[in-house]
A and B are shown apart, each in its own frame.
Chain A
C-alpha cells in the first residue's frame, strides 16, 4: 500500500529525514518510535503533505501512485489520514458541519452519494459511539476549547468518519490519561481491517500495549536505525532508546 524508498526531506533548508525506507502493506500495523527530535513526526507530516517540508529525494508510492504529485487534500481523498499531535481549533465552524463537509468531499471523490444534514445526523450518531464522544461536542466549534483528550477523541472520530486506507496517528497518546487512551486505542483497533494500514507514531511504548503493531521501527537522526517485531516496543519500554542508538553507532563504525 505504501512504499517509501530512500526518502529525504528538509525544513527551512535543514535536513530532517535522511533516507527512510519503509514498506507498509494492507492489514498491517506499524509503529515508528524514537526520541524527541528524531524526525518521526516529520515523517508523518511529509506523508500527509505539509507544505513547510521540502522533499529533497527519494520516492513514496501510495497504491502505486507517486505521493508527491498530489496535494495534501488529494492525498486525503485518496485515502491517507493523519491524526494530528496538536489538532487545530477552528472557531465558528461546528464540528458536525465540518465532519459532514469532509465526509461529503471524500464521498464526492469516490463517486458515492453525499449525505444531507439529516442523513449525516444518523450516520454520525453511530460513529460517536465508537469513540465514546458526548453529543454536545458535535455542536461545538471544531476543537475550540476542547481539552487535549477531547481533541484526540475528535481525531479518531474523523478517522472513523473518513474511513481511510492508511491512517497515520501522530502521538495519539500525548495529553491522554490512561482511561481515555484505552477507549481511543480500542476504537482504533475496531477500525483496523484487512484492507487498512496503520502507522502509529509515538515516543512512549504504552500505547502499543493497546494498539499492537506487527512491526516496530526506531527512528533517530532522520534514519530508521532498527526494525523488528512488537517485542522491540517492550524492550524500549524497559531499556529506553540509548542502547539502540549505541548499537547503531557501533554498527556504523564497523
Chain B
C-alpha cells in the first residue's frame, strides 16, 4: 500500500518536463530513480521517519513568483545575497554588489564553469531518492567559487524561499568550491509558506588548507517537507564547519555526508526545536578517509508536544586513518510526556590509533540546575524557560554573523517561552 503511494509520488514528481541543461546528469539520475522507491519505515535508515504523510498530496511544479524579501535581509549581507524563489533565481531580490572581485557567486544557469564539478562530490545517496530527484528536476541553483588564497571578508547569503498557493515541489541546488587556501563564511537559509516539498542538494569542495564556515537555517513552513542532502569533501588540511538549525517543517530530514582527507577538520553541529507533531531526522555520515583528521559533532534537540527527533550519527574511520580524532555528542531535551527521541551513534573504526568518543543524553531539565536558578530568585517557570533557552542558544553562541545570531536567539526566546524574561539576545 505504502509503496504504491510512494511510486505514485515519484512518478508524479518526474512526470513534468525535464528542465534544460545537465542532460547527462539528469538522465543518470532518472535511470537510478527508475529502480528506487520512496523509503518506508521497513528500511533501516528510515525506521523512525515515516514518509506516508507525503501520500495523498499532489505536488505540482513550482511557478516563478515575486516576493518581498525585506524581512529576510541581514545588514552584513545586503550586498552579498542571492535569492531563489520556488527554485528559480530571483534577480529582482538579489544583490551581489558587495561580492569581492574574483569570487563567483552566481545562479547555476549562468555559470558554465560549474558544469564539470556539479554532481561529482561524494557518492550518490542510494538509500533515498531525494538526491536523484533533485538532480533530475532542479530548475536552478547557486554556484560559489572562491579562488586560491582569497579570504572573503563579507559573509555570503543564500535565501531559498518557497511560496506555495497549492502544493509544490522545489529542488534547490548549491555548489560551493573553495580553492586552495580560500576562506568563506556562508549563510544558507530556507523559508517558506504553504504546503510544499523541498529537496535541496548541497555539494561542497574544500581544497587544501581552505576554510568554509557554513550556517544553515531551516525555517520552512510547518506544512512543509524538507528532505535535504549535503555532501562535502575536505582536502588535506582543509576545514569545513557547519551548523544546521532546524525550526520549521512538518517533517525534515538532513543527510550530511563529509569526507576528510589528511589533517582535515570538520564540525557538524545541529539544533532542532520541535513542537506539535513535527519530525526532524538527521542522519549524518562522517568519513575519516585519511590520517590525522578531526571531527566534532554536537547535535541538540528540544522536543515538545508529540514531536519526534531522530539522530543517527555514523562515523567511519578507514584502516589508514590513524590519528583520527572524532567526537560526537547527541543531547536531547524532552519537554513533554509524548515527545520522543531516537538517537544512535554508529561508529565503524578500522584504524587502531584513534580517539573516538560519543555520548547521548535524553531527558528533562536537571533539578540541580533548576534549583540554582530558583535560588537566585527566578520562579520555577522562569527557571525552566531560561534553561530551555540556554540549551538551544548554546548552539548559537559562535555564529559569526552578529545580526543572524541575534535574530536566531530571539526566535529561540519566542519558541522557548523565554520572551517573558526580557531580552537575553
Contacts of B394 in A (CB 8 A): 91-92, 141
Instruction: Tell me if B378 and A92 are in contact (CB < 8 A).
Output: no
Whether a CB of chain B sits under 8 angstroms from the CB of A102 is: yes
Q: State how many angstroms separate the Cβ of B212 from the closest Cβ of chain A.
A: 25
CA distance A52 to B371 in the complex (A): 10
Max chain A Cβ within 10 angstroms of own Cβ: one of B375, B387, B393: B375
Number of A-B contacts (CB under 8 A): 92
Whether a CB of chain A sits under 8 angstroms from the CB of B68 is: no
- From the candidates B368, B372, B380, name the one contacting A71 in the complex (CB within 8 A): B380
Instruction: Tell me if B389 and A93 are in contact (CB < 8 A).
Output: yes
Contacts of A73 in B (CB 8 A): 374-380, 383
Instruction: Tell me if A105 and B389 are in contact (CB < 8 A).
Output: no
Contacts of B371 in A (CB 8 A): 49-51, 72
Given A100-B422, A141-B397: A90 touches B390 (CB 8 Å cut-off): yes
Whether a CB of chain A sits under 8 angstroms from the CB of B367 is: yes
Which of chain A's residues 67-111 have a Cβ closer than 8 Å to chain B?
71-73, 75-77, 81-82, 84, 87-88, 90-94, 97-98, 100-102, 104-106, 109
CA distance A109 to B372 in the complex (A): 19
Whether a CB of chain B sits under 8 angstroms from the CB of A162 is: yes
Pull 30 A–B residue pairs with CB atoms less than 8 Å apart, ordered by A: A71-B379, A72-B371, A73-B374, A73-B375, A75-B375, A81-B375, A84-B375, A88-B368, A88-B372, A90-B387, A91-B393, A91-B394, A92-B389, A92-B393, A92-B394, A92-B395, A92-B397, A93-B389, A94-B424, A97-B424, A98-B386, A101-B382, A101-B421, A102-B377, A102-B378, A105-B376, A105-B378, A105-B379, A141-B397, A162-B376
Instruction: Tell me if A48 and B375 are in contact (CB < 8 A).
Output: yes
Chain A residue nearest to B386 (CB atoms) is: A93
Q: State how many angstroms separate the Cβ of A2 from the closest Cβ of chain B.
A: 16
Given A88-B368, A92-B397: A72 touches B386 (CB 8 Å cut-off): no
Report whether over half of chain B's contact residues are helix, strand or loop; otherwise say mixed: helix
Whether a CB of chain A sits under 8 angstroms from the CB of B174 is: no
Q: State how many angstroms separate the Cβ of B386 from the closest Cβ of chain A.
A: 6
Contacts of A77 in B (CB 8 A): 377
Contacts of B337 in A (CB 8 A): none
Contacts of B372 in A (CB 8 A): 84, 87-88, 90
CA distance A93 to B392 in the complex (A): 10
Contacts of B378 in A (CB 8 A): 73, 101-102, 105
Binding site for B on A (CB under 8 A): 48-52, 71-73, 75-77, 81-82, 84, 87-88, 90-94, 97-98, 100-102, 104-106, 109, 117, 141-142, 158, 162
Q: State how many angstroms separate the Cβ of A138 from the closest Cβ of chain B.
A: 14
- From the candidates B369, B375, B377, name the one contacting A109 in the complex (CB within 8 A): B377
Instruction: Tell me if A51 and B367 are in contact (CB < 8 A).
Output: yes
Instruction: Tell me if A93 and B375 are in contact (CB < 8 A).
Output: no
Contacts of A117 in B (CB 8 A): 423
Whether a CB of chain A sits under 8 angstroms from the CB of B391 is: yes
- From the candidates B376, B393, B397, B423, name the one contacting A102 in the complex (CB within 8 A): B376
Contacts of B186 in A (CB 8 A): none
Contacts of B392 in A (CB 8 A): 92
Known: A88-B368, A91-B397. 19 other contacts (CB 8 A): A49-B371, A49-B374, A50-B371, A71-B379, A73-B377, A73-B378, A76-B374, A81-B375, A82-B375, A87-B372, A90-B372, A90-B386, A92-B395, A92-B396, A93-B393, A97-B423, A102-B378, A158-B376, A162-B376
Instruction: Tell me if B377 and A106 are in contact (CB < 8 A).
Output: yes
- From the candidates A72, A92, A97, name the one contacting B375 in the complex (CB within 8 A): A72
CA distance A94 to B394 in the complex (A): 10
**What 3 A-B pairs are tightest by C-beta distance, nearest first?**
A92-B390, A92-B393, A92-B394
Which of chain B's residues 391-425 have a Cβ closer than 8 Å to chain A?
391-397, 421-424
- From the candidates B374, B391, B421, name the one contacting A92 in the complex (CB within 8 A): B391
Chain A residue nearest to B376 (CB atoms) is: A102
CA distance A117 to B424 in the complex (A): 10
Q: State how many angstroms separate the Cβ of B383 from the closest Cβ of chain A.
A: 7
Q: State how many angstroms separate the Cβ of A67 from the closest Cβ of chain B.
A: 13
Instruction: Tell me if B377 and A105 are in contact (CB < 8 A).
Output: yes
Chain B residue nearest to A80 (CB atoms) is: B375
- From the candidates A51, A71, A90, A100, name the one contacting B369 in the complex (CB within 8 A): A90
Contacts of B422 in A (CB 8 A): 100-101, 104
CA distance A102 to B424 in the complex (A): 12
CA distance A91 to B329 in the complex (A): 15
Which of chain B's residues 337-382 have a Cβ closer than 8 Å to chain A?
367-369, 371-380, 382
Instruction: Tell me if A52 and B386 are in contact (CB < 8 A).
Output: no
Contacts of B374 in A (CB 8 A): 49, 71-73, 76
Chain A residue nearest to B412 (CB atoms) is: A92
Instruction: Tell me if B390 and A93 are in contact (CB < 8 A).
Output: yes
CA distance A71 to B381 in the complex (A): 13
CA distance A183 to B237 in the complex (A): 45
Max chain B Cβ within 10 angstroms of own Cβ: one of A92, A100, A105: A92
